[in-house]
């Protein structure tokens, strides 16, 4: 697909950071912040639906998050289960297609079953592609894409000499979606934390000081306005863009 040159991003990705600090400011446990963050998730999904955003990818649980205290990880898993049971039917009614991306085999069978059920139920929806990255890492995504390409070579489907950037791109987790246009990280940190490393190549980056539970439609609109004010050149010059040569490099 062509990269977006529109003022409205087609595909937004968000690192939802700051739940723990938000809870600490209120002298509450980190799990309190994670529960509050679910409201922000709902607000952003609804805002994307109203604005006609095609795809939203949320970084919910990284492959590195297993290193956190066992109590917090357990609480997060419980929140996932409850959220799936509570939200899927309504999101399905809104036309949201839910997809979980990452190494799902690491999760307990009960959680995997609910994830699969949510994906199966919403598979035919087309209003918003909601991707929830769990046990996901950008390096993992690159490695699994390379592995899938190698397996295709072994099966005789392609020749190794045919593997270029365009061919490899088809083996990534979000290959069927529009290219990533806008990356947002909340919580004031300015790093990508191993998220969508391949897909970030030409994305616009916005870093918000808002802690995730405080992030709402107004914050999203501010990020989209920032995106709309940028000139996306894809390696070309401003003069080329002005003359209508806006194709991706």
Q: Are strands 96-101 and 182-185 parallel, antiparallel or unpaired?
A: unpaired
- Across 29-137, the runs of DSSP E, i.e. the strands, are 55-62, 96-101, 128-136
C-alpha neighbours within 13 Å on the C-beta side of residue 227: 28
Verify whether residue 65 is a known catalytic residue: yes
| C-alpha distances in Å from residue 6, one per residue of 44, 227, 228, 232, 245 | 20, 10, 8, 10, 14
Kindly name the residue from 3, 17, 131, 181 that is annotated as catalytic. Answer: 17
* Burial (CB count within 10 angstroms: exposed 0-12, middle 13-18, buried 19+), residue 173: buried
Is the CB of residue 34 less than 8 Å from the CB of residue 21? no
Kindly name the residue from 65, 194, 214, 216 that is annotated as catalytic. Answer: 65
Verify whether residue 17 is a known catalytic residue: yes
Number of CB atoms found within 10 A of residue 98's CB: 23
- Across 139-203, the runs of DSSP E, i.e. the strands, are 182-185
- Those residues whose C-beta lies under 8 Å from the C-beta of residue 190, and which sit 6 or more positions away, are 207
Catalytic machinery residues: 17, 65
């Amino acid at each position: 697909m062509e990269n977006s040159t529109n003022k409205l991003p087609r595909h937004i990705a968000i690192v939802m950071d700051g739940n723990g600090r938000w809870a600490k400011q209120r002298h509450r446990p980190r799990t309190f912040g994670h529960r509050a963050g679910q409201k922000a998730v709902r607000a952003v999904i609804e805002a994307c639906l109203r604005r006609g955003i095609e795809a939203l990818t949320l970084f919910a649980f990284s492959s590195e998050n297993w290193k956190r205290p066992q109590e917090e990880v357990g609480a997060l898993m419980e929140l996932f289960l409850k959220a799936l049971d509570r939200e899927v039917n309504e999101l399905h009614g809104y036309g949201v297609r839910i997809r979980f991306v990452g190494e799902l085999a690491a999760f307990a069978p009960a959680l995997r079953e609910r994830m699969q059920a949510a994906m199966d139920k919403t598979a035919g929806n087309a209003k918003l592609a909601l991707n929830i990255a769990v046990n996901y890492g950008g390096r993992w995504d690159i490695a699994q894409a390379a592995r899938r390409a190698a397996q295709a070579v072994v099966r005789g489907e392609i020749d190794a000499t045919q593997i270029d950037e365009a061919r490899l791109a088809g083996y990534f987790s979000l290959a069927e979606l529009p290219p990533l246009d806008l990356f947002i990280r909340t919580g004031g940190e300015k790093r990508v934390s191993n998220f969508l490393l391949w897909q970030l190549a030409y994305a616009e980056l916005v870093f918000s000081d808002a802690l995730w539970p405080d992030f709402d439609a107004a914050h999203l609109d501010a990020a989209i306005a920032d995106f709309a004010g940028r000139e996306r050149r894809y390696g070309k010059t401003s003069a080329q863009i002005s003359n209508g040569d806006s194709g991706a490099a």
